[in-house]
A and B are shown apart, each in its own frame.
Chain A
Amino acid sequence: AQSVTQPDIHITVSEGASLELRCNYSYGATPYLFWYVQSPGQGLQLLLKYFSGDTLVQGIKGFEAEFKRSQSSFNLRKPSVHWSDAAEYFCAVGAHFGNEKLTFGTGTRLTIIP
């Protein structure tokens, strides 16, 4: 079964600074990988996803993520954060075959300070 770990529960970043949120997964083959964002009181919204091909994936709102098979990681990055990026971020992993389920990480809460 697949699993995903987000080691950082809470991260605080100054507005305009760069951001990297960590995600490590466990799966026997190449997985489907996703990043979702949840603003306070809202449902989740897809930021980006990786299935195959180019390991650097571009998403919405200026986010990108890089799939590194050797490190079993799929870290989310943004070069310059905005106050509106304050939210909770979830990494998720799914299997390519069978198992019709996504497994979510526990999330990283991002706080932006002026």
Chain B
Amino acid sequence: NAGVTQTPKFQVLKTGQSMTLQCAQDMNHEYMSWYRQDPGMGLRLIHYSVGAGITDQGEVPNGYNVSRSTTEDFPLRLLSAAPSQTSVYFCASTLKGYQETQYFGPGTRLLVL
């Protein structure tokens, strides 16, 4: 099993550009989530999904969209990048819910100029 994979590892965007951060897991996990990590702020939940076709907002959803068309994939879309979205983004998955062990991807480092 590859576990949780994220692409790209690093990305530089200009303000106003759009992009999609990819996340995939091969463990047949139902629950997937996106976090952003900023210095001094820990991890903050952006969006999460409890199964294919079901998504919900986390703590900091503004400026981000998600969809969950398959169990395996949970892409995060930045519609119009802003410097405030410069961060490290982590995708995570668990079998049923966050109460179980979350498996984290290696992260995507995003710089918005």
On A, residues with C-beta under 8 Å from B are 6, 9, 32, 36, 41-46, 49, 51, 90, 94, 100-107
A42 to B31 Cα, complex, angstroms: 21
CB pair A44 B102 closer than 8 Å:
yes
By CB atoms of chain B within 10 A, which of A46, A100, A104, A106 has the most?
A100
Q: Mark B19-38, 1 if CB is under 8 A from A, else 0.
A: 00000000000010001000
Q: Contact at B43–A94, with CB atoms within 8 Å?
A: no
B99 adjacent to A90 (CB under 8 Å)? no
CA distance A103 to B42 in the complex (A): 9
Minimum Cβ distance to chain B for residue A9 (Å): 8
* B43–A100 touching, CB < 8 Å: no
Given the interface contacts A46-B102, A90-B43, does A100 sit within 8 Å of B90 by beta carbon?
A: no
Closest residue of B by beta carbon distance from A99:
B98
Question: A4's closest neighbor in chain B, by CB?
Answer: B42
Q: Report if B50 contacts A (CB, 8 A).
A: yes
On chain A, the residues within 8 Å of B107 by CB distance are 41-43
Q: Do residues A104 and B44 form an inter-chain contact, with CB atoms below 8 A?
A: yes
- Chain A residues whose C-beta falls within 8 Å of the C-beta of B45 in the assembled complex: 101-103
14 A-B contacts (beta carbon < 8 Å)? A36-B102, A41-B107, A43-B104, A43-B107, A44-B43, A44-B90, A94-B98, A100-B98, A101-B45, A101-B59, A104-B43, A104-B44, A105-B42, A106-B40
Is B48 a contact partner of A106 (Cβ separation < 8 A)? no
Interfacial chain B residues near A6, Cβ < 8 Å: 42
Contacts of A43 in B (CB 8 A): 4, 90, 92, 104-107
Query: How far, in whole Å, are A103 and B33 apart by their CA atoms in the complex?
Result: 12
